[in-house]
Amino acid sequence: MMFMKPSAALFAEHNVLILEKLRFTAGVRADLFRFDVKSDRPENSSDDWNGIVSPKLGLVLGPWAETELYLNGGLGFHSNDARGVTIAIDPNTGEKTNPVDPLVQIRGAEIGIRSQAVPDLTTTLGLWIQESDSELVYVGDAGTSEAGPGSRRYGLELAAYYRPAPWLTVDSELALSHARFKDTGDADHIPGSIDTMWSGGITVGAAEGFFGSLRGRSSRHVRWRRAAKSSPNPPSRSTPAPVTGKEIGKFPWIS
């Protein structure tokens, strides 16, 4: 079997300063995909074109005392496997099956506050919600992912970046989220969804030249629906990771 999924996209954005402390941003992205599959089964061989347009809006109020409030909303998408888009016959059972949607729309919104009121410290607190028309679910027995029901996610993110010296940066990020399938009754937990994620680290090095970093990460996720509902202590994972290297130019998150 051979399959291809080439794509192209265009993006435009416009920023408007409405008032001294009120900024507005509007953007739109257009994506075009081609799904081309040449299968061992002629019934599953086909090619299809599909496109989607995703508008986005943003509003920023402030700053007051080095603190600003922001509000974002818009549409996005994820693409499904090309083989699922053109499939007509299940290769395992030989029975007819329905293809999946090529592009699945996602709707999201976020409200948050960002502050640099404390010298050398940048903090951000955000609340977000996201809805998807179809959730990708990993199927362990088959070793692949399949399109599942629609889903809703919402959560909180807290981030802090402290730079007490030009050569030293300390950062920490915490994300809490609640993910569920929609319209599935009691079996609404999404397998593998992460409800708690923390990452943080210390970086030594200036904006240019050699640097070293020690980072840690911990996450807790839902393995499968029944375990998620019955187990009081979902599985977790922690990973420390030292990093060294050489940076040319600025770190991506240091202004």
Over residues 155-177, the mean pLDDT reads 95
Residue 175 is assigned to a structural domain of this protein? yes
Residue 100 is assigned to a structural domain of this protein? no
Residue 133 is assigned to a structural domain of this protein? yes
Residue 20 is assigned to a structural domain of this protein? no
The pLDDT value given to residue 253: 38
pLDDT digits (tens, 9 = 90+) for 18-68: 999 999 999 999 999 988 888 777 887 888 888 999 999 999 999 999 999
Q: What Å distances lie between residue 87 and 32, 164, 226, CA to CA?
A: 20, 57, 31
Whether 30 and 53 have beta carbons less than 8 Å apart is answered as: yes
pLDDT digits (tens, 9 = 90+) for 90-107: 777 777 887 888 889 999
Q: What Å distances lie between residue 125 and 122, 135, 163, 252, CA to CA?
A: 10, 26, 18, 20
Residue 80 is assigned to a structural domain of this protein? no
Q: What one-character-per-residue DSSP string does 223-243 give? A: --HHHHHH-SS--EEEEEEEE
Whether 177 and 158 have beta carbons less than 8 Å apart is answered as: no
Pairing of strands 22-38, 2-4: antiparallel
pLDDT digits (tens, 9 = 90+) for 233-245: 444 455 555 554 4
pLDDT digits (tens, 9 = 90+) for 171-206: 999 999 999 998 887 778 888 888 899 999 999 987
Residue 196 is assigned to a structural domain of this protein? yes
Residue in 33, 31, 40 with CA at minimum distance from that of residue 4: 33
Over residues 228-232, the mean pLDDT reads 38
pTM, two decimals, is 0.76
- Domains in the chain, number: 1
The two tokens of residue 89 are: 């016959």
Residue 105 is assigned to a structural domain of this protein? no
Residue 72 is assigned to a structural domain of this protein? no
Question: 238 is in which domain, residue-wise?
Answer: 121-255
The two tokens of residue 12 are: 């435009």
Position 5 confidence tier, pLDDT thresholds 50, 70, 90: confident
The pLDDT value given to residue 234: 43
The pLDDT value given to residue 168: 93
